[in-house]
Amino acid sequence: MRKDLVFGMAGSGGDGIVSAGESLLQAAAAEGYHGVMTKSFGSQIRGGESSCRVRISTDPILNPGGNLDVAVALNWEDFLKFGAELPVSGTTVVIYEAATGIPENQIPLVGVTPLQVIAVPIAEMAKSTAGTERAKNTVVLGLIAGWFGIGAVAVMKGIRKKLAKKGEELVEANQRAFDAGRAFAMEHPLKASMNVVASETKGQTKLITDGNDMCAAAAIFAGCQFFGGYPITPSTEIMQFFTDHVWKYGGSVLQAEDEIAGIGAAVGASFAGKKSMTATSGPGLSLKSEMMGLASIAELPLVIVDVQRGGPSTGLPTKTEQSDLFAACFSAHGDVIRPVLAPTSVADMFRVTIEAFNIAEHYQTPVIVLSDQEIAARKETLDPIDTSAFKIVNRLVPTSAELQDYKRFKQTENHISPISHPGMIGGTYLASGIEHVESGAPTNSGNVHQRMNDKRTKKFEPLKDRKDLFEVAGNPNAPIAMVAWGSIAGVCREALALAQAEGLDVKLLVPYLLYPVAEGVYHDFFTSVQKGLVIEQTHLAQTFKLLRMHIDLPKGLRPLARSGANPFLPSEIVAALKTLVSELQRSHEGNLQPQE
Amino acid sequence: MSATGTCEYQPKDYKSDLKPIWCPGCGDFSVVQGIYRALAAIGRPPHEIAFVSGIGCSSRIPGYTTAYGFNSVHGRALPIAQGIKMANPELTVLAAGGDGDGFSIGGGHIAHLIRRNMDITYIVMDNQIYGLTKGQLSPTSQKGRVTCTSRFGSLEEPVNPLLYVLAYGAGFVAQASPTDLVGMAATIEEAIRYPGFAFVNIQSPCVTYGEEAQQIKGLKAISETLASLGHNPADRLAAMDLAQHYGEKLHLGVFYRNPEPPPTYGDLVKERQALLSKDAPPKERILDLFIKK
């Protein structure tokens, strides 16, 4: 019996692969399993290749998994387009459409012999039972229920609910297709059973959502009253959530004429006293950079979500990457610090988004939430979250005494000045992108500029002491370390567990706060470290370089960095860690050699 | 807003302590006077007014008022103004800037504020030149104009700001000039009172880089009030006809005022909020949306 299974399915756009994945995830949740689902597409709107990866486990899931346990190919051409996104290994069961005409011993996977290969007449079964090939995805779900024991009841319960409005006939057709798939599996048992053990938490309430919806819900919970944005893949669902829900809470949303107007309106709403937000992806972040500088010098709270995709320029618009790190930290000209936070999963997107609003409000600054396509689009099953445990911070407003002689940019001990907003008597001031004195009046003075730059940068010092924005796992004195953030952090958490199970003395640092770089936290973490990896989905090793810019890194620390789209596998990270261990052993042995 | 207006406020109540950086004789001095007078006539307290601008000589103007000002970045007064208005529809929101700010770098925004009918008054100080950067071609410079970036004469037709906004369907379109300060104040007042997007183009001479014909004397020579022509401001086609003479004639007053102003964006937002907030769960329970039973 298995505790954990990773499915990868691919087909053409109309095959309903993603909808099958969603049904499987929901059925798994109903049966008490933890689940994670990611989707990946070509850039075509209709047709083209479409895939999903569903991981189901009795234990909480840290990432979408490495090599597939089960691969489903409705046709090989589309499956192969995903390459290393859907990695097949010697432990994979491969199920594919028999109508492709390819014999089981000639499937087009180079350099790998799967555990078992099964051709199934999926289209034919769909047609003979449901009368249409469109039921292929339901046949696949039946096969999965039969072979792996997931969703025997729950899948059809979900489909029944989903199709209820479309009539009993359609539901019955799907039931027949599902039953046919399941019967086929029963008649052709796997060489080695891969049934998943039953979950002990069956019947408990579970949430299912993705990173974008979670981000928008968290923003509304944090008190966000305005969203200004422009459609861009893969962030658009955040704006869509606002258009569905923000009105209910007295807020509003503007699908602006362009990226600049979207953030501009959010800057205006913040000036007017409301918590506000915009969301975008790489190209939009580039366009928004001037406004981000404006919000920094005008000291206006604002949350900017950047859902990263492959760059530069249009890059890989539907695939994940972490290469906006430099742009998030350094876009917009001038000397400026803009906090950058990164969630590592759908679950912690809730906390990170609230934190972004709290930091924006407290420090009166734009804050970037650096999400990525994988977190944005992946669906996770979650245990219910107790929202009352989250503290909400609001901006410091001037007292009536302070309004007697109000100075918007007054120098204070902690460099944070009470902020008024239109409508507040006595609080009128000029907000501006031009340098200004304490009252807000424009100035060209070099001395004032120096003082104001001091104010605007020193105010962030306490942020670097926020140890709660970092996660350290593993033996704190371990000589071998990993550093990873965003969706890659989950892969490294699993790699850590695997490495520890093999007896490796390793630890992991996951920063949720990427910028400003908290030198102290890294210094403490690196004290015991002799060798280590900064693992990241960037071609230029941006994280490694960002850290090196701020910290004296251990000599044995090096990047494990590559471009996005293709996932990091926990197994390859463990292999890299083992290399570090043997290097370390060799160097110790070297040190023990008697000196000549 | 007090629709009647009171004598509670004087123009000086809207004047800040900042000394304008404008050149002596700049038309913008008159524009800011016109704004003080219009605001006093309306009688809205300064703290209930938000005044947004972009970049340029004229964009310094919010700082010279006692309203909540926002001197933002080049071309983006309107996006910021609409965010302010959406966040707090009770405010009086003004936006202002030059012809470059409004019709070149920020030219893409006007159409969208018009079609949303944002209740914002947009004042453009049009001087057919880039003054702050010392005299380059602007989007309203006439064809053939010689400037430091068009030594051999401009090769481009100018934008016609009046036709531009009329064509996009603005509900209130007017023109004013420092040649008639009383008329300018009245026009700005009417624009602010109009419930919806209102546009006022003000021919405001640049004394340093402007051409002779565009100075006060020259403007006076070509100016005519629309009232004296018997123009009916409810007639949009007649307004467009007259607007075609931009650059040759200086028509002063209201070109177009929609006699039946449609609901503003703010009105529609309020309606939607009222409709959808009725059965909304508290935001503390927003995650219930994700429960799968």
Q: Using the predicted structure, report yes or no on whether residue B1 has a pLDDT greater than 50.
A: no
pLDDT digit string (tens) for chain A, length 596 residues: 899 999 999 999 889 999 999 999 999 999 999 999 998 888 777 778 999 999 999 999 989 999 999 999 999 999 999 999 999 999 999 999 999 999 999 999 989 999 999 999 999 999 999 999 999 999 999 999 999 999 989 999 999 988 889 999 999 999 999 999 999 999 999 999 999 998 888 888 899 999 999 999 999 999 999 999 999 999 999 999 999 999 999 999 999 999 999 999 999 999 999 999 999 999 999 999 999 999 999 999 999 999 999 999 999 999 999 999 999 999 899 999 999 999 999 999 999 999 999 999 999 999 999 999 999 999 999 999 999 999 999 999 999 999 999 999 999 999 999 999 999 999 999 999 999 999 999 999 999 999 999 999 999 999 999 999 999 999 999 999 999 999 999 999 999 999 999 999 999 999 999 999 999 999 999 999 999 999 999 999 999 999 999 999 999 999 999 999 998 999 999 999 999 999 999 988 877 665 54
Q: Which residue has 């950079």 as its token pair? A: A289
C-alpha dihedral (A550, A555, A556, A557), degrees to nearest 10: 10
Measured between CB atoms, does A47 come within 8 Å of chain B?
no
From A196, A188, A235, A161, select the one nearest A70 (Cα to Cα): A196
Q: Which residue in the set A30, A264, A440 is minimally distant from B83, CB to CB?
A: A264
Which of the two residues, B152 and A198, has the higher pLDDT score?
B152
DSSP A227: E
CB-CB contact of B165 with B110 (8 Å): yes
pLDDT tens-digit series, residues A578-595: 999 999 999 888 776 655
Q: Using the predicted structure, report yes or no on whether residue B3 has a pLDDT greater than 50.
A: no
Q: How far is A157 from chain B (nearest CA, A)?
A: 11
Do B293 and A205 make contact, defined as CB atoms within 8 angstroms? yes
Do A423 and B88 make contact, defined as CB atoms within 8 angstroms? yes
Measured between CB atoms, does A271 come within 8 Å of chain B?
yes
Q: How far is B293 from chain A (nearest CA, A)?
A: 6
DSSP B226: T
Q: Using the predicted structure, report yes or no on whether residue B6 has a pLDDT greater than 80.
A: no
Which pLDDT does position A489 carry in this prediction?
Answer: 98
From A539, A536, A557, select the one nearest A487 (Cα to Cα): A536
d(CA B248, CA B246): 6
Collect all residues of chain B within an 8 Å Cβ-Cβ radius of residue A257.
108-109, 111-112
pLDDT tens-digit series, residues A25-72: 999 999 999 999 998 888 777 778 999 999 999 999 989 999 999 999
Peptide bond preceding B20 in cis form (omega within 30 of 0): no
User: What residues form DSSP beta bridges with B164?
Assistant: none
If phi > 0 it is left, if psi is from -120 to 50 it is alpha, else beta; for residue A482 that is: beta
A180: Cβ–Cβ under 8 A, 6 or more apart, which residues?
A: A125, A128, A129, A139, A142
Which pLDDT does position A594 carry in this prediction?
Answer: 58
Measured between CB atoms, does B233 come within 8 Å of chain A?
no
Given 3-state DSSP classes, what are the helix, strand and coil percentages for chain B, each rounded to the nearest 5? 40, 20, 45
Do A249 and B277 make contact, defined as CB atoms within 8 angstroms? yes
Q: What kind and span of H or E run contains A586? A: helix A570-592
Do A432 and B72 make contact, defined as CB atoms within 8 angstroms? yes
Do A387 and B285 make contact, defined as CB atoms within 8 angstroms? yes
pLDDT tens-digit series, residues A508-555: 999 999 999 999 999 999 999 999 999 999 999 999 999 999 999 999
d(CA B122, CA B124): 6
Alpha helices in chain B (DSSP H): 28-42, 77-87, 99-100, 110-116, 161-167, 181-193, 216-222, 236-243, 265-277
d(CA A29, CA A43): 30
Which pLDDT does position B5 carry in this prediction?
Answer: 45
For A111, A407, A418, B37, the CA distances from A401, given in Å and listed in that order, are 76, 12, 12, 31
- Give the residue from chain A lying closest to B87, CA to CA: A269
pLDDT tens-digit series, residues B257-283: 999 999 999 999 999 999 999 989 999
Strands B172-176, B250-257: pairing is antiparallel
Phi/psi of residue A37, nearest 5 degrees = -130, 130
Q: How far is B217 from chain A (nearest CA, A)?
A: 33
User: Could you give the angle at the alpha carbon of B182 between the alpha carbons of B178 and B184, nearest 5°?
Assistant: 55
Peptide bond preceding A516 in cis form (omega within 30 of 0): yes
ipTM of the complex, rounded to two decimals: 0.96
Do B287 and A434 make contact, defined as CB atoms within 8 angstroms? no
DSSP strands (E only) in A358-479: 366-372, 379-382, 430-432, 470-474
For A208, B11, B51, B187, B271, the CA distances from B204, given in Å and listed in that order, are 59, 20, 19, 15, 40
pLDDT tens-digit series, residues B9-31: 999 999 999 999 999 999 999 99
CB-CB contact of A228 with A265 (8 Å): yes
pTM for this prediction: 0.95
Collect all residues of chain A within an 8 Å Cβ-Cβ radius of residue B78.
261, 264
User: In the structure, what pLDDT confidence band is assigned to residue B2 with cuts at 50, 70 and 90?
Assistant: very low
Which pLDDT does position A164 carry in this prediction?
Answer: 86
DSSP B181: H
Which pLDDT does position A593 carry in this prediction?
Answer: 61
Other CB atoms within 10 A of residue A222 CB:
24
What is the CB-side half-sphere exposure of residue B240 using CA atoms within 13 A?
A: 11
Segment 211-250 of chain A within 8 Å of chain B by CB: 213-214, 217, 220-221, 223, 225-226, 228, 245, 247-250
Which pLDDT does position A46 carry in this prediction?
Answer: 74
pLDDT tens-digit series, residues A281-332: 999 999 999 999 999 999 999 999 999 999 999 999 999 999 999 999 998 9
d(CA B114, CA B108): 11
Peptide bond preceding A312 in cis form (omega within 30 of 0): yes
Alpha helices in B125-280 (DSSP H): 161-167, 181-193, 216-222, 236-243, 265-277
Pick among A208, A224, A271, A277 to test the B interface (most B CBs inside 10 A): A271
Phi/psi of residue B259, nearest 5 degrees = -65, -20
For A105, the 3-state DSSP assignment is helix
Given 3-state DSSP classes, what are the helix, strand and coil percentages for chain A, each rounded to the nearest 5? 45, 20, 35
Other CB atoms within 10 A of residue B139 CB:
22
